[in-house]
Structure 1
Amino acid sequence: MTESQWPEEEKLSTPGRRAGFKLRKMRIDQESFGRFAEFIARYMGSPAFLIWMTAFIAIWLLWNTLLVIELRFDESPFILLTLMLSIEAAYSAPLILLAQNRQEARDRLSFDEDRRIAAQSRADTDFLAREIAALRANVGELATREFVRSEIRDQLRDLLAELDKAPAGESPAANPDSAEPR
């Protein structure tokens, strides 16, 4: 048989079908698993966990050293206890790392938000400082209350002096030519 006579499926240059069954891809809710990891890490870092773990190991050691040989289930060097603690460490280390990574992500978001707020506060402070400087400059140009009072007093004195000089019965306002130009 020549190459063209072989069916397409039987050629060695064509990959064959996969044998077996396909494993379904597990879908794990990252948020739920992360909360679970944080719960475990929080509990493992608590005094209650340390007390319970210490009591468990102490009871285990006492049971397997002090009781009669028939009741002992893990003779010295305590292989079963070592295996259990190794399994606990193997599972707890990744869970603690996952919890730390989640906390680091929250800290990073918090830090970024704090930095944004600080930048906004700094910009607001700079703006207010410029506004206060402008107000101070403008206030320097405004007439103060004392200055206005002194000007009014001077005007009042001038008017009283004109009234004193004017003949009786004639008001200086009636004769605009006699008033001083301002």
Structure 2
Amino acid sequence: MMAKKWFVIYCKSREEQRAVENLQQQGIDSFFPKISKEKILRGKKSIIQEALFPSYLFVFIDPKDAAFSSIRSTRGVLDFIRFGAKIAQVNIDLIEKLKNICASNNALQSLPEQFLSYGDSVEILHGPFQGLSAIFSQTDGLERSVLLLNVLNQENKISFRNSDINKLEH
């Protein structure tokens, strides 16, 4: 039976990644949840990775065998989160949900502009317009794109989720 559990660690500001790397060197499994966000840097739209919980990360250790003091003295780590004298534990199901959320967010966040350009034909995969073809016009925020859709012989600009469209190859 596996006795490992997830615990929450508080890190020095902006040193979460350093803590993760140093913990990995010690053979300790850790999880630092990050999500993709759209930022405008020097006038250009780009996607960056940001901490979902700044200054916090999770470690997967056996509470009976773990060297808590060596983890606390790891570069980038300040201490374990505690409730009174008890070190805070996190349910494994919650960690799995967080991993899934981060993975799906990061997969959907790639800008369509990187693989779609104005005039490209796309297929609508889900929703009431499923199976119809449209023309890519522009991005509409991080998770959506504006398509030109011919409905009743009239071209309409309609916003769709990026996960609901696929580029058609000619």
Same fold by TM (over 0.5)?
A: no
Question: Higher strand fraction: Structure 1 or Structure 2?
Answer: 2
Instruction: Pick 1 or 2: higher relative contact order, CA cutoff 8 A, min separation 6.
Output: 2
TM-score bracket for this pair, using the shorter chain length: under 0.3
Question: Higher helix fraction: Structure 1 or Structure 2?
Answer: 1
